[in-house]
Amino acid sequence: MGQRIVIVGGNRLAGTVSVSGSKNASLAIIAGAILASEGVTTIHNLPRIGDIATMADVLRHLGISVSFSEDGHSAHIDATNLTSHEAATEIVARLRASFWVLGPVLARLKRARVAQPGGCNIGARPVDLHLKGLQALGARLDATHGYVAAEAPDGLRGATIYLDFPSVGATMNIMMAAALGEGTTMIENAAQEPDIEDLGNFLIAMGARIHGHGTGVLTVEGVDRLRGCEYRVVTDRIEAGTLGLAAGITGGDVFLDGANPAHLRPITLKMAEAGLKVKEEARGIRVVGPAGRPRPTRLTALPHPGFPTDMQQAFTALLCVADGTSVVTDKVYENRFRYLSELGKMGAVAEVDGRTAVITGVPRLTGADVEGTDLRASAALFLAGLRAEGQTRLSETQHLERGYECLVEKLQGLGAETWREDESGGGRLALCSA
């Protein structure tokens, strides 16, 4: 039986909500734990979401032992018995980030085989930059029959690699492979996302020698071995931004406990432009929405430190009710506007031309039955539902549940009227204890 999320719009959200650990940093760090040939790695502050469980399964299929604490927020990973160099295809198909095990497995076993991740609802998403980087480190690659098989019988060796585009995943894969290579690797035009910085700090805690992570030039001096360590993942800037926008779109007042102001700056600056009040405090960020309608703005999603593409959809939901016309461009993905047709069912007015959408703000949205086509699209529809008159019923909720920890419960805690139910219209479902 499928599930849906029901949202009754109109409540002004208020209170304090705690921000979970970063999904994307956690996924990378779990892949990075493969590199430890001695000791156990303990990772804290993991979000309890479907994607993390899937990544744990990818590791288990490689022969690695992974267990979680009772609350699900910490994992113990013992990779000393890495036995298989082949990632399980059916699991890789479910999670693009599982392709990130390619670099670490190759570095440990001198060979690796992983299914090519497919395209998805937001564009083609090739892996050519990952492959170019690993090739530059001396790997022999065979990308045929839907798989990437990599071999480096004599080990990997340092190289200077220039990325045509600062890909997050390619930077991570190359940096993890190079950590156990021989000599120095320099990645130019590296991705600078906070998730890269966090992965770099984690690898350093394992004994890696890395400099410049979080900047455009990243250097890795290879070491012979890495060992398990204890590490706490940073908080999720995209979840924090989404919860802040929930305050903004409802004219509410919410404190984002644990949000990192430096990581959120590209988002909070745009929030201020749109008329939201943002106050950075010692433990987090307070966001207060305008009493009337937000202001329109221009927004371009770019690699970090630009405005994050993963926040583009949720921010656009806010602009749908702005007092004027906004222009939103996504320079990271070629097809990340599909959700606008769903928002249209709620009364939003948008025109898309390639990578740019022109949003004409409307005074009111109305609740409707809508489908969450991907994770961030679902978040945008949820936010619109909080503002809309009447009931919104969001289907295909599996996307939302795999990426946001207990979003329904967190918003309930702030005063939203929202619940999960089975699609036959039966009783309310409680899935999450936040």
Stretch that binds ligand EPZ, among 125-133, 222-230, 269-277, 352-360 (CB under 6 A): 125-133
Name which of 14 and 93 has its Cβ closer to ligand EPZ. 93
Helix, strand, coil % over all residues of the chain, rounded to 5: 35, 30, 40
Of residues 59, 112, 170, 386, which one binds ligand EPZ by CB under 6 A? 170
Q: Report the nearest approach of ligand EPZ to the CB of residue 182 (Å).
A: 24
- Tokens encoding 419: 């619940």
Instruction: Choose one: 63-71, 127-135, 342-350, 407-415; the region binding ligand EPZ (CB under 6 A).
Output: 127-135
- Which CB sits closer to ligand EPZ, 177 or 191? 191
**Of 367, 377, 325, which is closest to residue 347 (Cα–Cα)?**
367
CB nearer to ligand EPZ: give 376 or 410.
376
Mask: binding to ligand EPZ, 296-315, rule CB under 6 A, as x and -?
-------------xx-----
The answer to whether 406 is a known catalytic residue is no
Question: Applying CB under 6 A, which part among 58-66, 165-173, 179-187, 250-258 lies near ligand EPZ?
Answer: 165-173
Q: Which two tokens stand for residue 166?
A: 């600062």
Piece of the chain touching ligand EPZ by CB under 6 A; list 102-110, 128-136, 204-212, 213-221? 128-136
168 binds ligand EPZ (CB under 6 A): yes
- Closest distance to ligand EPZ from the beta carbon of 373 (Å): 12
Cα(399)–Cα(63) distance, integer angstroms? 28
Residue owning tokens 């619109």: 384
Q: How far is the CB of 383 from ligand EPZ (least distance, A)?
A: 15
Least separation, in Å, of the C-beta of 236 and ligand EPZ?
A: 9
What are the residues whose beta carbons fall under 8 Å from the beta carbon of 282, sequence distance 6 or more? none
Our CB check for ligand EPZ shows the closer of 2 and 126 to be 126
* Separation between Cα atoms, residue 313 and residue 251, nearest integer Å: 19
Helix (H) or strand (E) segment spanning residue 241: helix 237-249
Residue 156 contacts residue 115 (beta carbons within 8 Å): no
Binding of ligand EPZ by 119 (CB under 6 A)? no
Q: At what angle do helices 23-32 and 102-109 cross, to 10 degrees?
A: 10
Please pick, from the candidates 375, 380, 388, 407, the single residue that binds ligand EPZ as defined by CB under 6 A: 375
Site string for ligand EPZ, 260-299 (x = CB under 6 A): ----------------------------------------
CA dist., res. 62 & res. 394, Å (int)? 36
- Shortest reach from residue 37's CB to ligand EPZ, in Å: 25
Q: Which helix (H) or strand (E) holds 3?
A: strand 3-8
Residues 6+ apart with CB under 8 A from 100: 27, 28, 31, 169, 172, 173, 176
- Binding residues among 192-251 for ligand EPZ as defined by CB under 6 A: none
Spatial CB neighbours of 335, under 8 Å, sequence gap ≥ 6:
121, 122, 123
Task: For the CB of residue 63, give the shortest distance to ligand EPZ in the complex, in Å.
Answer: 23
- Number of residues this chain uses to bind ligand EPZ (CB under 6 A): 25
| Residue closest to ligand EPZ (Cβ) | 169
**Spatial contact of 255 and 284, defined as CB atoms under 8 Å apart:** yes
409 Cβ partners below 8 Å, 6+ apart?
Answer: 432, 433, 434
With respect to ligand EPZ, which residue has the nearer C-beta, 293 or 313? Answer: 313
Q: What distance in Å separates the CA atoms of residue 273 and residue 250, rounded to the nearest whole number?
A: 17
Q: Does 126 bind ligand EPZ (CB under 6 A)?
A: yes
Residue 180: left (phi > 0), alpha (psi -120 to 50), or beta?
alpha
Burial class, 344, CB count within 10 angstroms (exposed 0-12 / middle 13-18 / buried 19+): middle
Scanning 1-9, 33-41, 77-85, 124-132 for contacts with ligand EPZ by CB under 6 A, the matching segment is 124-132
> How is residue 187 written in tokens?
């990645």
Partnered with residue 67 across adjacent β-strands are 76
Could you tell me if 274 and 292 are in contact, meaning their C-beta atoms sit under 8 angstroms apart?
A: no
Closest separation between CB of residue 73 and ligand EPZ, Å?
Answer: 19
97 near ligand EPZ, judged by CB under 6 A: yes
For residue 169, state whether it binds ligand EPZ (rule: CB under 6 A). Answer: yes
Where in the sequence numbering do the catalytic residues fall?
120
- Residues in contact with ligand EPZ by the rule CB under 6 A: 24, 27, 96-97, 123-130, 165, 167-170, 191, 309-310, 332-333, 375-376, 403
